[in-house]
Structure 1
Amino acid sequence: MKPVWRALGVAGGILGAAATGVAVSAVAHGARVSAQRRKAEDKYADEPLGALEPSRESTVAADDGLPLACEEVDPAEGGEPELTVVLVHGYTLDRRCWHFQRRDLAQLTGPRVRLVLYDQRSHGRSGAANSESSTIEQLGRDLDAVVRALVPNGPIVLVGHSMGGMTIMALAEQRPELFVERVRGVALIGTSAGDIGRSGLPRPVLSRHNPAARGLGVIAEWQPGLVEWARRAGGHITWSAIRALAFGDNKVSPSLVDLMELMIDGTSVKAITDFVRTLGTHSRYAALAGLRHCRVLVLSGDRDRLTPFSHAEAIAAHLPDAELVLVEGAGHMVMLEQADLVTGHLVELVRGCTSKNDGRGWWKRA
């Protein structure tokens, strides 16, 4: 009978690990408000979230051959763009998280901007990486590959959220000359330059010291299909978990939570666990020196439970000329939760990067 009980115990452990990992994987189809009530209360009920048509789609090969799914958006009014904005998404998300910024920045006429978005490896429509290449160092090289392929010339503004901001830091570490010659501006949104495991959630889900995340990783390596099934079986609690962990204190559109759930649901358990170690060991304060040649925006919500505002303050302390913005009441998904405010600051950044006025450096409470 021991093998039977052991098998039951392993199955129970998988279910427990998956349930404990809800804060990381937070997926499946949870409880919903009724369609009629949502229509009446949700201001984004008719918004085509994550479904905007790009001007072009393409695949860029990373330096190890892994395919990266990309898209470009030309200025809505036509004409030659004066600058390219590259949007880099975060952990367990994909390029759809930039819906509002993608929609509105393309409408700019002063200056006209072209947008480049892509899915990070093992996220969205990009190829699945192995554990060894699931590192922030490799993400920096991936961003370099996208820039070389799709933005071979002209000025650039890089915008990164969460792990996307870390990706930009890795690129600055690897190719500092790019930030001297072509990168005019950088926006770091809801991100960190290091010490992720020392603040935020109790026993942070992104910390390599979290036994639940480590255990889920081991199980995912052994039996990934069963873990995927288990996390979906517990989906009735995950919608509320996403709302609580990713957003702040303000009223949040259910459609935004749905969008985030879809993005997380598209990220495999293996990808989620593969990146835990690199997130936990990320430390790139020294790399921030490479951003001193750029205009820099550092923005974060004061209700961010994953990368608290103290991380933004620490980045700004290393970049005294940066604009530091605190968004009251907003959580980790600040660019969805406070879309107009975030886009407004990005417009200011872009305009500053095409202006001769070099005035920089102030602290703002949004």
Structure 2
Amino acid sequence: MPATPPCSSLSVTATDGASLAVRVDGADDAPVTLVLAHGWTLDARAWERHARELAADGTVRVVRYDQRGHGGSGGGSIRPWSIDLLGDDLAGIIDAVAPGGPLVLGGHSMGGMTIMALAAAYPELVTDRVAGVLLTSTSAGQLDARRRRSVPLRLRALGHVESAFFAYCSRTAERSARIRDHLPGPDGRFNPALVKRYLYGPDAPGEAVLAGARMIHACPMPAVADWFPALMTHDKAGALGALRELPVEIVVGSLDRLTPVAHSRRLARELPQAALHIEPECGHMLLLERPAVVTERLRSLCAGAVAGVGVGAGIEARTEAG
């Protein structure tokens, strides 16, 4: 049984003064740093198992953090929120906590979009420092069904209903939070069943469903409501040149309802070095439902970084290393 890696908590201040809660697992002198960004309505606990396992042998230092407005992180003064703002947050965390050495980046859902925003806004940082990327259950855009004429009318109508609902929750955040508190919570039967139906596959372990349900239920109402329009307007298709020559692992569940397989296929077409894996009978919460699938791909990317694969000038550096 490997020893539990050292762990520390700290705070990083974003450009607008937002305090971002950061957790670091593993040794400070590890040869590679892995930075993990979680998805909408979750928090850094979503990566806990992965971080513990990957930091165990001392070769990987794992940085995970609560996205702006989630968990222990503040919302800051900038409004409205945007995915581009999350890319700035990630750049600030890297500068504060991992200013040197090779990096591997991993993102789930909105966390994957965060990495895309970083790549679009800070291409030199990505090409100079990043040795590999994992994108799971995510999308480069086109999530807003209302604006796509090719989408069936039923889905466009549902998009209008969803947007109206989250706009109402945003205007009435305190009241909506009180209403939520009076609804069945994650420790009952109804709430986890609903979460499983929409976010997991049919055979998802009960403890994985409960973990996700608890994080979602604990998410502050402003984060629930105000990140929704940012997700809908996110569009980084054609802006991911900094990732094109890097080892990229794209992983998606075959039953993902929020970011369906078509979004991962589109990403794979844009990133020629990417490997696409579709996990059968698995939903959007793939990192909780099948954590080993995600951990092993992160482990492979980190091993490549330790070996010097992908660091520096993209494909040329990989050729020189191997």
SS at match of 1:132: coil
Q: 1:294 to 1:274 in 2, by over 3 A?
A: same
**Paired amino acid for 1:88:** A
Counterpart mapping for 1:207-226 below 5 A: 209-221=159-171, 223-226=172-175
1:275 lines up with 2:222 in the alignment? no
Counterpart residue number, 1:247:
200
2:25 to 73, 85, 92: 73
User: CA–CA distance in 1 between the matches of 2:309 and 2:47?
Assistant: 28
Q: Which amino acid aligns with 2:178?
A: W
Compute the displacement of 1:309 (Å). Answer: 1.1
Q: Which runs of 5+ in 2 are unaligned?
A: 146-150, 316-322
RMSD of the TM alignment (CA)?
A: 2.5
Preserved CA contact (<8 Å) 1:190 1:312: yes
Larger Rg: 1
CA offset digits 1:295-350 (Å, max 9, x no partner): 11111110111101111110000011111111111111111111112211211122
The superposition leaves residues 59-83 of structure 1 with CA deviations (integer Å, 9 ceiling, x where unpaired) of 00001010000011114xxx83110
User: Residues 216 and 284 of structure 1: is their aligned pair in 2 closer, same or farther, counting only changes over 3 Å?
Assistant: closer
Contact persistence 1:173–1:290 (CA under 8 A): yes
What is the CA–CA distance in structure 2 between the aligned matches of 1:275 and 1:293, rounded to whole Å? 30
- How far apart, CA to CA, are the structure 1 residues paired with 2:166 and 2:234? 20
Question: Aligned equivalents of 1:151 and 1:353: distance in 2?
Answer: 15
AA in 1 matched with 2:238: A
Does residue 103 in structure 1 map to residue 52 in structure 2? Answer: yes
Q: Secondary structure at the match of 2:239?
A: helix
Displacement of 1:213 in angstroms is: 3.4
Conservation of the 8 A alpha-carbon contact between 1:213 and 1:273: no
Residue 217 of structure 1 contacts residue 270 of structure 1 at CA under 8 Å; is this kept in 2? no
2:102 aligned to which of 155, 160, 173: 155
CA distance in 1, matches of 2:8, 2:174: 34
| Distance in 1 (alpha carbons) for counterparts of 2:98 and 2:224 | 29
For residue 83 of structure 2, the aligned residue among 136, 140, 143 is: 136
The residue number in structure 2 matching 1:10 is none
- Number of residue pairs matched by the alignment: 299
1:287 aligns with one of 239, 242, 247: 239
Is the alpha carbon distance of 1:218 and 1:156 closer, same or farther for their aligned partners in structure 2, counting shifts above 3 Å? same
Q: Are 2:191 and 1:238 aligned?
A: yes
Does residue 326 (structure 1) correspond to residue 264 (structure 2)? The answer is no
> Runs of at least 4 residues of structure 1 off by over 6 A?
none
CA deviation profile, 1:232-258 (whole Å, cap 9, x unmatched): 3232632211111111132x2222222
Displacement after TM superposition at 1:356 (Å)? 5.7
In structure 2, the CA distance between the partners of 1:116 and 1:219, relative to structure 1 (3 Å rule), is closer
Kindly provide the CA deviation profile for residues 137-186 of structure 1, in whole angstroms up to 9, marking residues without a partner as x: 11000001100000010000010000000000001111000111111111
51, 64, 67: which one pairs with 1:117?
64
Partner of 2:43: 94
**Structure 1 residues 225 and 291, CA gap change in structure 2 (3 angstroms):** same
1:131–1:297: structure 2 CA closer, same or farther, 3 Å change rule? same
| Structure 1 unaligned blocks of 5 or more | 1-51, 361-366
The alignment partner of 1:58 has SS state of strand
Residue pairs, 1:292-331, within 5 angstroms: 292-331=244-283
Single out whichever of 143-152 and 327-336 deviates more from structure 2.
327-336
TM-score (structure 2 length as normaliser): 0.86
Deviations 1:261-288 (A, max 9, x none): 2211222222211111111111101222
Cα distance in structure 1, aligned partners of 2:213 and 2:232: 23
Which deviations, in whole Å up to 9, do the C-alpha atoms of 1:64-108 show, x marking residues without a partner? 010000011114xxx831100001000000010112211210123
AA of the residue aligned to 2:53 = D
Q: CA 1:128 to 1:54, structure 2 compared with 1: closer, same or farther past 3 Å?
A: farther
